Amino acid sequence: MVGHSLIAENRETMTISAVKDVPRFNEENISLALEEGGLEIDGTNLQIVNL
């Protein structure tokens, strides 16, 4: 099992570890492939800053 973390700061910034791929993203949805599963993030004005 691979450890991962998700840190949300003030509902404005998220830091997520163990991300393998970003299959799709736009300003309203980000789909992430993690080491063990997936994660969908919905919102408005979403951006990816660092990979």
Chain segment 13-34, per-residue pLDDT in tens: 999 999 999 999 999 999 999 9
- Does residue 35 form part of some domain? yes
Band of residue 43 on the pLDDT scale cut at 50, 70, 90: very high
Query: Which domain, by its residues, includes 32?
Result: 6-42
Flag whether 11 is in a domain.
yes
DSSP annotation string for the chain:
-----EEEETTTEEEE-SEEEEEEE-SSEEEEEETTEEEEEE-SS------
Looking at the chain, the whole-number percentage of residues with pLDDT higher than 90 is 75
Any domain includes 47: no
pTM (two decimals): 0.80
Q: What is the pLDDT of residue 14?
A: 94
- Rounded to an integer, the average pLDDT of 33-38 is 91
Evaluate whether residue 17 is within a structural domain.
Answer: yes
Number of domains in the chain: 1
